[in-house]
Amino acid sequence: MVRIITDSAADFEPDELLDKNIVCIPMKINFGGEEYTENINLTKTQFYEMLESGDDFPKTSQPAPYDFEKILEGAKSAGDDAVIITISSALSGTYQNACLVKNMLEYDNCYIVDGLSATAGQRVLVEHAVKMRDEGKSAVEISEEITKLRSRVEIYACIDTLEYLYKGGRISHTSYTVGSFVNIKPMITVSREGRVEVPAKALSMRKGIKNICARLEKVKPDKNYPVYLVYSHNRKNAELLAEAMRGAGYKIDDSQLVNIGATIGAHIGTNACGVIYISQE
């Protein structure tokens, strides 16, 4: 048996994890000295309500080595192989901790892939790994395929402010200053190295959505993989994006709208929306 393991930055809902037989190791979120565990004692709705009502800046932390150790010891003892797909190592130490535990346990049949992505970008990689597992592919085959596929993940989003990315240390002071004019809506992407970049700006969320649609025309999605529309708390923006994409000929239904969880939400705040997909080769 091949166990597919990821972290909560992939933004699966708890029932989806059960349905797809995915093991998820949750991230930690700290609000004003109180530590919460994503999807355990902190739902997405609760997180955003706390973010909007509180003055404290949330801090995220990766799963500890012990969190991986519990899962990997059980998999190794059962004689199972494992494929772990993590949030980008440029955004979190999750990948490094997973590698540390694998080596400590001398678990040769555990294969760890740095997703170089997050939220639905990470999710689409995990879902493809699940598909391959269900087709009877080996852990080696899955990890090799996911490692190739990750370079084709496209993330393009419009956010309300760069404040959270800057405070969380995800962008430089220069990027923050350039992108923080009044009413400017920064466009963000994730580079092939898994880092957050600010390639453009829009004068409003509607113009940001227009920019996202233009991006889709330049870098077209591969129809063999799902297209996801992501949003942070405010679903209305994702629905506006869905409407614009339908007008451009894309078939979008509610199952493709993904609410961003606390791990990434802590760094982008509310009101963001974007598109995530696998590009054509």
156 and 137 fall within a common domain: no
CB of 131 closer than 8 Å to CB of 103: no
Among 252, 261, 10, smallest CA distance to 125 is for 10
User: Is pLDDT of 119 > 80?
Assistant: yes
Q: Average per-residue pLDDT in the chain?
A: 92
Of residues 109 and 58, more confidence is placed in 109
User: Is pLDDT of 168 > 70?
Assistant: no
Q: Is 81 helix (H, G, I), strand (E, B) or coil?
A: strand
Count structural domains, the chain.
2
115 and 206 fall within a common domain: no
172 and 42 fall within a common domain: no
User: Is pLDDT of 178 > 70?
Assistant: no
Q: What is the pTM of this model?
A: 0.93
Q: For residue 17, what pLDDT band results from cuts at 50, 70 and 90?
A: very high
Instruction: Give the domain-ending residue among 98, 125, 151.
Output: 151
Tens-place pLDDT, residues 193-233: 999 898 888 988 999 999 999 999 999 999 999 999 999 99
Give helix 205-218 / helix 235-247 axis angle, nearest 10°.
Answer: 40
21 and 50 fall within a common domain: yes
33 and 125 fall within a common domain: yes
181 and 249 fall within a common domain: yes
Residue 247, Cβ density class (10 Å: 0-12 exposed, 13-18 middle, ≥19 buried) = exposed
137 and 169 fall within a common domain: no
Buried b (16+ CB within 10 A) or exposed e, 155-193: bbbbbbbbebbbebebbeeebbeebeeeebbbbbbbeee
Instruction: Give the domain-ending residue among 85, 120, 151.
Output: 151
User: Is pLDDT of 179 > 60?
Assistant: no
123 and 190 fall within a common domain: no
Which of 42-51, 75-84, 116-125, 229-238 has the least mean pLDDT?
Answer: 42-51
113 and 53 fall within a common domain: yes
Q: Which residues pair with 112 in a beta bridge?
A: 84
Instruction: Give the domain-ending residue among 151, 170, 187.
Output: 151
Q: For residue 183, what pLDDT band results from cuts at 50, 70 and 90?
A: low
Q: What is the average per-residue pLDDT within 252-256? A: 95
User: Is pLDDT of 111 > 80?
Assistant: yes
102 and 82 fall within a common domain: yes
Containing structural domain, residue 233:
152-278
